[in-house]
């Protein structure tokens, strides 16, 4: 059975979007993404510096290993009197323009309680244990390629990984899975993620691949390949492009729907040119369709704003943090 959306423009005849069971979608996705064998190096988590920010938030600079010879720097943010078993949240920075590549993790960690773009700091302020690492090609993990800078560095890195039989999506999942290990080493027993823009993309890809993630708050950048290529001709970042994914007849809305019954939050503004409404609605519809078809509890929380572009608003962040607090709440103990 083949379901071809009516809004394709210039869709090639050899890219039908098959209606597949969720288990088959997940199987194909993981096979295409690539193998995730046991890490060959220990995490070797180390704290290199510590400062206290406004509001009683501590910010530690930590490092941990993701592969032989490869250390990832991150900020660990938490309230000074945080309970040892507080939930952990992986905060993934945006992709954005040239202003984010040089700073990476620091972009969302400024101690400004009035700025919703500082969601790493704001999440810590609410009592979550937050880990905010640099993604590959950002901040302290920048890789300069000849005269190219910033997005061209990432293009070259993705090309290198594809040439080796992998992808930037695989690398993102690998590194972010090790970040979840780091959160557990820091004391977290319940794990979530939050991201904006390209960080949102990384968060929902991570949730699709790693079942240890209980909840993901994703703001913007809901991208389906069929709409990207054949209707809008948009390219936000390179995490979506896994070799042969189109040939396998699967798309990101189908893949993200496999996250259910774990919890998802989608934040979206109707004026976001990077996420036109049909792409966003495809994600929403796919998750809800799976929950109905398989009698799963409703896994999706939405926050939509009609007059907002590609920016996290105060209302959106408040809703996302409320979602994470509820989704990562410790289960109540039965009375004896």
| pTM assigned to the model | 0.91
pLDDT-based confidence at 331, cuts 50/70/90?
confident
Domain covering 25-327, topology:
Rossmann fold (3.40.50)
Average confidence (pLDDT) over 106-125? 96
Q: What value does the mean pLDDT of the chain take?
A: 89
Residue whose entry in the numeric block shows the structure tokens 């309680």: 113
Highest averaged pLDDT of the listed ranges 125-134, 148-157, 159-168, 272-281: 125-134
Whole-number Å distance between alpha carbons of 134 and 5: 37
Convert the pLDDT of each residue in 5-41 to its tens digit.
455 555 554 455 667 899 999 999 999 999 988 878 9
What is the edge-to-edge ordering of all strands in the sheet holding 57-67?
A: 46-52, 57-67, 70-79, 129-133, 88-92, 191-196, 215-219, 263-269, 300-305
Convert the pLDDT of each residue in 263-298 to its tens digit.
999 999 999 988 999 999 999 999 999 999 999 999
Crossing angle (nearest 10°) for helices 151-163 and 168-185 = 100
Residue 95: predicted pLDDT: 85
Instruction: Tell me the domain boundaries of the chain.
Output: 25-327
Give 332's contacts (C-beta < 8 A, 6+ positions apart): none
């Amino acid at each position: 059975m083949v379901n071809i959306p009516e809004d394709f423009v210039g869709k090639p005849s050899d890219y039908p979007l098959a209606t597949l069971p969720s288990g088959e979608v997940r199987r194909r996705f993981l096979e295409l993404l690539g193998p995730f064998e046991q890490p060959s190096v220990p995490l070797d988590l180390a704290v290199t510096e510590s400062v206290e920010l406004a509001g009683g938030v501590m910010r530690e600079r930590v490092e941990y290993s993701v592969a032989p010879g490869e250390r990832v720097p991150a900020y660990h943010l938490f309230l000074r009197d945080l309970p040892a078993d507080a939930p952990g949240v992986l905060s993934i920075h945006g992709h954005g323009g040239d202003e984010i590549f040089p700073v990476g993790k620091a972009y969302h960690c400024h101690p400004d309680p009035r700025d919703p773009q500082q969601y790493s700091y704001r999440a810590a302020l609410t009592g979550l244990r937050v880990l905010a690492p640099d993604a590959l090609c950002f901040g302290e993990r920048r890789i300069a390629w000849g005269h190219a800078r910033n997005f061209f560095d990432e293009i070259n890195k993705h090309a290198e990984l594809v040439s080796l039989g992998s992808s930037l999506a695989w690398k993102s999942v690998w590194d972010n899975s090790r970040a979840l290990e780091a959160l557990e080493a820091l004391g977290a027993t319940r794990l979530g993620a939050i991201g904006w823009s390209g960080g949102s993309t990384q968060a929902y890809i991570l949730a699709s691949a790693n079942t240890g993630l209980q909840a993901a708050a994703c703001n913007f950048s809901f991208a389906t390949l069929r709409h990207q290529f054949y209707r809008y001709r948009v390219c936000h970042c390179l995490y979506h492009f896994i070799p042969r994914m189109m040939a396998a007849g699967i798309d990101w809305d189908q893949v993200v729907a496999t996250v259910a019954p774990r919890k998802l939050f989608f934040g979206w503004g109707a004026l976001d040119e990077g996420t036109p409404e049909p792409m966003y609605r495809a994600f929403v519809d796919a998750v809800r369709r799976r929950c109905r078809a398989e009698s799963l509890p409703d896994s999706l929380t939405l926050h939509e704003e009609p007059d907002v572009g590609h920016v996290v608003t105060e209302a959106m962040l408040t809703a996302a943090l409320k979602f994470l607090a509820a989704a990562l709440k410790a289960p109540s103990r039965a009375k004896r």
